[in-house]
Structure 1
Amino acid sequence: MKPRIGVLALQGDVREHLRALEECGAVAVPVRRESELADVDGLVIPGGESTTIEKLLRAFDLWEPVRERLRAGLPAYGSCAGMILLADHVVGGTADQTTLGGLDITVRRNAFGRQVDSFESDLAFAGVDGEPVHAVFIRAPWVEDVGPGAQVLAAVGEGPAAGRIVAVRQGGVLATSFHPEVTGDMRVHRLFVQIVRDALDAEPGHHGKG
């Protein structure tokens, strides 16, 4: 059986994430309600506007269900605004901004805004084989601080943002500042699908879905 991975379908590049996950061997489904969330083995939180996504999660009565599933070990991947929502701490957010949590990192919201609003860069990405990952940043956050629980996977190599951390992982939770769904390079999604498969294989009594 293929892993069943949901894409939070409230804002952002939902269709592009669904297509990428399907191409990487998952059954990809949009998630807009709690019953759909309950039926997935992993969850993608797309880009968009983090405070808007937070409001929509609350409006759709998904905020607490998503937090509970993340705490229970649901694998998750957040891109751009999704990274902000998965971070434990946010700098530059609104005064009342809260996050789902799951990554022991501090993220600066709209960090690239004044410096380099939107740009592209080739990244050496740990855990992804082959040539560098071509990353597209659109008013993206960056990671200001990484706690002991999280692992840095990629940082910008050159230009005004050189050295800024833009991809992290903690256990089954993966996040990138950039949008891999817009480039046609499936390797980040393939990595997440493998993370979900590994989590399923680790479940007690699981005999492999292949």
Structure 2
Amino acid sequence: MTTTTVGVLAIQGGVIEHISLLHRASEYLHSHSSPIKIPNFRFIQVRTVLQLSECDALIIPGGESTTMSIVAQRLGLLEPLRQFVKVDHKPVWGTCAGLVMLASAASATKQGGQELIGGLDVKVLRNRYGTQIQSFVADLDLSKILGEEENQKPFRGVFIRAPVVEELDQEKGVEVVGVYKGKEKEDIVAVKQGNVFGTSFHPELTEDVRIHVWWLRRVVEALKEKEST
């Protein structure tokens, strides 16, 4: 059986938490019947260009996006990450700061702006809900990715200094797949476009494995499709 390597960018954020849920998601997929053949998975922390080159897919976790971009540049990872996402079109998922990194533009950045990886034709607003002490947990409707049956139990999204998507380009295939219904309006908190998926919230800080299961399925489907072309 083939092995699929999934990396988690290990600069900041919930790296171990993501890897833990990835292992649980893999166990779930191997224990449930599936129309697609599920490979063996290998999950690694990514801090070098060599480690990135081993990956078939990648998660960019939360943290402080400006710091993450500076550290990635110092490690020589920024351009290889852009190649990974926008040229090689490998599956990538960004959570919170990872979503910011994958956006084509960001507002409310620090003076001088910041380097982004890109891949999602969206503009994000950083720190939409304020400081860390204003963090919160909220029920989310994620039926567009989880399906109606899996979505019967609301997903509890953890928001910590979270960004939201304030502009998107539907003509380029950006799809809204999750919103937070706040008091004032609905905020876009999950989007996907081709090989790229982004969430404002932190699924890795919950015990809920559903999004990780869904994403690993997408990784398998994307790799299978690539092999057939």
**TM-score bracket for the superposition, by shorter chain length:** over 0.9
Choose which of 110, 128, 133 in structure 2 pairs with 1:111. Answer: 128
Question: Counterpart of 1:62?
Answer: 77
Shift of 1:146: 1.6
| Per-residue Cα deviation, 1:162-204 (whole angstroms, up to 9, x for no partner) | 4010000111211100000011111111121111101110123
Please tell me the residue identity of whatever aligns with 1:106.
Answer: K
CA RMSD of aligned residues (A): 1.5
Residue in 2 aligned with 1:91?
A: 107
Report what 2:29 is aligned to. none
- Relative to the length of structure 1, the TM-score reads 0.92
- Are the counterparts in 2 of residues 87 and 102 from structure 1 also a CA contact under 8 Å? yes
2:186 alignment partner, SS class: coil
Q: In the TM superposition, what are the counterparts of 1:33-182 in structure 2 within 5 Å? A: 33-71=48-86, 72-94=88-110, 95-113=112-130, 117-125=134-142, 126-128=144-146, 129-130=150-151, 131-148=153-170, 149-160=173-184, 162-182=185-205
Q: Distance in 2 between matches of 1:147 and 1:61?
A: 30
Contact 1:87 1:105 in 2 (8 A): yes
What's the counterpart of residue 4 of structure 2? 3
Is 1:195 equivalent to 2:212 in the alignment?
no
Q: Which residue of 1 aligns with 2:30?
A: none
Contact preservation (8 Å) 1:43, 1:75: yes
Q: List gaps (5 residues or longer) in structure 1.
A: none
Aligned residue type for 1:171: G
CA distance in 2, matches of 1:19, 1:195: 18
Q: SS of the counterpart of 1:83?
A: helix
Question: Secondary structure at 1:164's aligned position in 2?
Answer: strand
Runs of 4+, deviation exceeding 4 Å: none
Q: CA deviation at 1:112?
A: 1.0
Please give the alpha-carbon distance, in whole angstroms, between the structure 1 residues aligned to 2:179 and 2:102: 18
Q: Displacement, 1:23? A: 1.3
Calculate the TM-score normalised by the size of structure 2: 0.85
Q: Distance in 2 between matches of 1:188 and 1:104?
A: 22
Contact 1:107–1:143, Cα closer than 8 Å, also in 2: yes
For 1:22 and 1:80, how far apart are their aligned partners in 2?
A: 21
Rounded to whole Å, the distance in 2 between the matches of 1:195 and 1:133 is 19
Matched residue count: 204
Indicate if the aligned counterparts of 1:21 and 1:27 stay in contact, CA closer than 8 A. no
Q: Which has the higher helix share?
A: 2
The AA in structure 2 aligned to 1:30 is Q
